Structure 1
Amino acid sequence: MDRVSLDQIDQRILAELTKNARMSHAELATKVLLSRNAVRQRIERMERQGYIQGYTIVAGPPGQGSVSAFLMVYRKDRVRGSDVITVLRSIPEVVLCDVVSGDFDLLVRVEARSLERVQEIWEQIAAIPGVTDTVTAMTLSSYIRRAPGGARATE
């Protein structure tokens, strides 16, 4: 089956479903500014393509394990660069975005289903007006992962 890349509306649908997978098509349609029928058709397409599996959001194409990367992002205007953060919020695979001190402004963690999806996200971020540079570090292994508050999610 041919897989179509996710456009910004698909990404917004996945982001909303990630927050609340039980959201009705009507409510989701209001949030993404589409008709209920258009949202239903997009969800059905993403289910056929494997982006949505078993009512669980799978960010990226199926068939490969989870790929994690950190992107260090430098913004042209460190103080007024909120447009960059707005775009990052719309990408479902972005699981962390922190403003940091040092050479780069933002530390962004991406968790995707494939290297190809990480590259697509990197290209999308690099093309955001106001982003002047990025450095990407792929996660090779993860030994400690804690939920907020110190509870261990995985080790």
Structure 2
Amino acid sequence: MDRLDYRIVEHFTANPGTSVLAASRELNVARPTVQARLNRLRDTGILVEILPKLAPEPMGYPVQAMVMAQIDQSAWHGELHDNLLEIPEVVDCSTMAGDWDLLIRVVAKSNTDLQRVIDKIGTLDPIERTTTSIVLRELMRDRMLPLMDVATSESTSK
């Protein structure tokens, strides 16, 4: 990874719908170079995907919450992932170590709708218990670009 990789990722992060050709013109880099760099970043697993960031509020989902769940550790829970995918209001899910096993980010149309979503999650096997915190305001999200900035700055200063 170097500063050109950073500039390319920064450009696509700011302009996710742009073409490789447009990015190469904007960055003053040959199109095959931009494409090769994107391919290498994908192949190494650094770049997972470049997607537009969607805001749930304009789509009618102004309520956001974090649902922490404990699951039955003795149960096979391979179906849990698929069952969570069946709930469109579930937008992120991570496994965790500690008192809670899952952190599930959900959106809802209202507090009443949030209760429906939480109840639906609570009925899934092997979920045993949940607790929910409503998000008041999102301060930052998916903040990886500063890490890449530091990593590429350190690699060029060595």
TM-score (norm 1): 0.51
Structure 1: stretches of 5+ with no match in the other structure: 1-57
Relative to its length, the structure with more strand (as a share) is 1
Structure 2: stretches of 5+ with no match in the other structure: 1-55, 147-158
**Equivalent position of 1:30 in the other structure:** none
1:73 aligns with 2:73: no
Q: Give, in angstroms, the shift of residue 81 of structure 1.
A: 1.6
Identity %: 28
Q: Give, in angstroms, the shift of residue 84 of structure 1.
A: 2.0
Higher relative contact order (CA closer than 8 Å, sequence separation 6+): 2
Aligned residues: 92
- For residues 89 and 145 of structure 2, the distance between their equivalents in structure 1, rounded to whole angstroms, comes to 23
Report matched runs for 1:36-51 at 5 Å: none
- For residues 108 and 67 of structure 2, the distance between their equivalents in structure 1, rounded to whole angstroms, comes to 13
Q: Give, in angstroms, the shift of residue 98 of structure 1.
A: 0.3
- For residues 108 and 137 of structure 1, the distance between their equivalents in structure 2, rounded to whole angstroms, comes to 11
- Tell me if structure 1 keeps the 8 A contact 2:91–2:107: yes
- Tell me if structure 1 keeps the 8 A contact 2:108–2:117: no
Q: Give, in angstroms, the shift of residue 134 of structure 1.
A: 0.4
What letter is aligned with 2:145?
G
1:114 aligns with 2:110: yes
Report matched runs for 1:71-150 at 5 Å: 71-77=67-73, 80-146=76-142, 149-150=144-145
**Ranges of 4+ aligned residues in structure 1 off by more than 4 Å:** none
Q: Give, in angstroms, the shift of residue 108 of structure 1.
A: 0.1
User: Is the radius of gyration larger for structure 1 or structure 2?
Assistant: 2
Q: Give, in angstroms, the shift of residue 94 of structure 1.
A: 0.7
TM-score (norm 2): 0.50
- Tell me if structure 2 keeps the 8 A contact 1:97–1:108: yes
- For residues 86 and 133 of structure 1, the distance between their equivalents in structure 2, rounded to whole angstroms, comes to 19
Relative to its length, the structure with more helix (as a share) is 2
Partner secondary structure for residue 96 of structure 1: strand
